[in-house]
Amino acid sequence: MEDVLFEEKIESAEKQPNNNEPITPNPRVKGGYFLVGDTPSSELFISEEFEEDEQMMGQMVKDFCIKEIQEPFFKRGRELLITNKADKAEMLAILKRAGNLGLCGVSIPEEYGGMGLNFKTNTLISYNLSYGFSFATTLGAQTSIGCLPIVYYGNEAQKHKYLPKIATAEYVASYALTEPNAGSDANAGKTKAKLSPDGKNYLINGQKIWITNGGFADVYIVFAKIDNDKKLSAFIVERNYEGFSVGAEEKKLGIKGSSTVQIFFDNCKVPVENLLGEREGGFKMALNILNGGRIKAGSGGVGGSLSALEKAVKYTNSRKQFGKSIAEFGAIQYKIGHIAMQIFANEAACFRIADLIDRKELELKSAGFSENEAKINAIREFAIEAAIIKVKGSDLVWYAADEAIQMHGGMGYSAETGLGMGLRDGRITRIYEGTNEINSMLCVGELLKRALGKTKEIDLVKAGKKIPSFLVSQLNPFRSKSGYAEQERIVNGLRNSFLFISGMAGKKLKKQLVEEQEIILNLATILQEIFICESALLKIKKLETHKGYDPQKLKIEQEMVQLYFYEAVEKARKAALEAIASFETGRTKRNYSRVIRLMLKPYDINPKALRRNVAQYISKTLG
């Protein structure tokens, strides 16, 4: 599948503009646009378009993970345990070796000793980093949440002091937001900072929990409230500061090689110059950093699913039962086909959005924003999509890892295959960077905020006006089914269902709607499917226009897209009908439900035949 995804590099239809050229903003390079308007497939970036050096970076990360994590695991017959002193030293040594190769500086600008790679190459790195199991969390914290607050918000002195050392792993970095009573509700933290009588230091008191890399970090980005401030501020805290201490390593379900500790502040003396960004700017900073981290967590989930699928394919090709390879059984082909099509669709969404962030950044720079403001605002722009990718990618890796175990039968339950480790390690992605429930509610909440808030930047009313004509078109028995017409109809059906239900629920429940989390989660399910379906459709359309693209591979990928759409419609219809049943009764409920059934008609394909085709192809090419 690695090959299926990356072997054929195709020419980008839309070249990135030169930094110095003025850029006319593209109205489609906009968060939430996927709900209200179409994007031409020529504008979509797909992973096959990565430049050679970018692909090499991705490959280098994968090779590093295989050499440093997977091969020693199979030799040793067990995973690294951070609670074991020697293993902890080994994990730190691996991180240092990654630093020697420059892998800790991928998101740090070159002037501060890093590689300054763009967002999409960083996303490709996260995708491949999943081959490193718990090391993905260690390196991920170093290159993302641990250092980006300084990259984006640090002043020159802070950047020069810390970033070159983080880039080489001379300093290990971590990010300390969560507290015993402040998890999802991150702004509720009780850690306090106050100025010392001589005005030279902030004295921090409090406690943080679940701090990745905390057991061996040198630098901690710590969020605390100054005096009686309502909002958090951020500080750079060094390990050797007076009043700072680190707890024991947590014993966890998974990512057992990753360091996770509590940290404590007892009148911890932090020099005033280590306030990061503006006073009370910490909460915004924390959220902006998490937006970027969510795309990386989601793409890591998709990469991890590919790794699970590769293992399953190899095993099912070689394992024989009832006189034939188990890969020949329909029950196994169902699983392989299902995972493969999910990977195809979700991968399209990950790299689509990573590229849009890079393009938005260029647009903003061209409009006069500073480098950092452009980076922060570009990521912020796609907060809706970031939340979707995080939820979908992390749910997928859990599903794929579980089914990979199932396809191995008893061998899947053996620790030596590493499948159990994969399942446990992948599980964390549904919890950190904001739980999947929080992210699901966030994508809908953010969308409604942008549509109904002061800015009204997403015009849902205008989009909703197209619903009647769409419904009329659905009654036409002669509507076109050629080419991608059916899939375009499904994307519009999904969009209109979201607009219809959010509109009707809003009318009925008014402000109470935000309290009805079950309905918001139903809406989130539909929104997620719109974004992933549209991304998969755009990708297949783009691949089709590529001269010389393997026609057999294209046909299979078209079938993957058909399968994805088939399942998405079923899922979305269930969510839509459930939402309606949650706020309407009687005749109105029946009428609304009829509208939904018209908008989300079943996609008339033979899923069994398509899944078998996909699985047979994947078993041949990936095995």
Ligand X SMILES: Cc1cc2nc3c(=O)[nH]c(=O)nc-3n(C[C@H](O)[C@H](O)[C@H](O)COP(=O)(O)OP(=O)(O)OC[C@H]3O[C@@H](n4cnc5c(N)ncnc54)[C@H](O)[C@@H]3O)c2cc1C
Q: Which residues are catalytic?
A: 433
For 267-304, b/e burial (b = at least 16 CB within 10 A) is ebbbeeebbbbeeebbbbbbbbbbbbbbbbbbbbbbbb
DSSP string covering 520-588: HHHHHHHHHHHHHHHHHHHHHHHHHTSTT--HHHHHHHHHHHHHHHHHHHHHHHHHHHHHHHHH--HHH
Overall size of the chain counted in residues: 623
CB of 444 to ligand X, least distance (A): 12
Query: Among residues 214 and 493, whose Cβ is nearest to ligand X?
Result: 214
Give, as one character, the DSSP assignment of residue 322: T
Cβ distance 181 to 207 under 8 Å? Answer: no
**186 or 340: whose CB is closer to ligand X?**
186
The answer to whether 344 touches 557, Cβ cutoff 8 Å, is yes
In angstroms, give the least distance from the CB of 542 to ligand X: 36
Helix (H) or strand (E) holding 237: strand 233-238
Tokens of 590: 């029946």
Q: How far apart are CA 253 and CA 256, in angstroms?
A: 7
Residue of closest CB approach to ligand X:
183
With respect to ligand X, which residue has the nearer C-beta, 262 or 535? Answer: 262
In 48-118, which ranges are continuous DSSP H helix? Answer: 52-65, 71-76, 85-100
Comparison of 256 and 539: residue with beta carbon closer to ligand X: 256
Nearest distance, CB of residue 465 and ligand X, angstroms? 33
User: Least Å distance between CB 252 and ligand X?
Assistant: 6
- State how far the alpha carbon of 162 is from the alpha carbons of 102, 216, 218, 517, in Å: 15, 16, 10, 42
Closer of 480 and 517 to ligand X (Cβ): 517
SS3 of 449-466: the string is HHHHCCCCCCCHHHHHCC
Spatial separation of the C-alpha atoms in residues 31 and 382, rounded to whole Å: 5
CB of 441 vs ligand X, minimal distance in Å: 7
Q: CA–CA separation, 393 vs 305, rounded Å?
A: 8
Residue type, position 321, single letter: Q
CB of 184 or CB of 552, closer to ligand X:
184
Contact residues toward ligand X (CB under 6 A) are 141, 174-178, 183-184, 210-212, 252, 255, 260, 428, 431-432, 434-435, 437-438, 517
Question: Which CB atom, from 267 or from 517, has the smaller least distance to ligand X?
Answer: 517
CA-to-CA distance for 562 and 540, rounded, in angstroms? 10
- Shortest distance, CB of residue 251 to ligand X, whole angstroms? 11
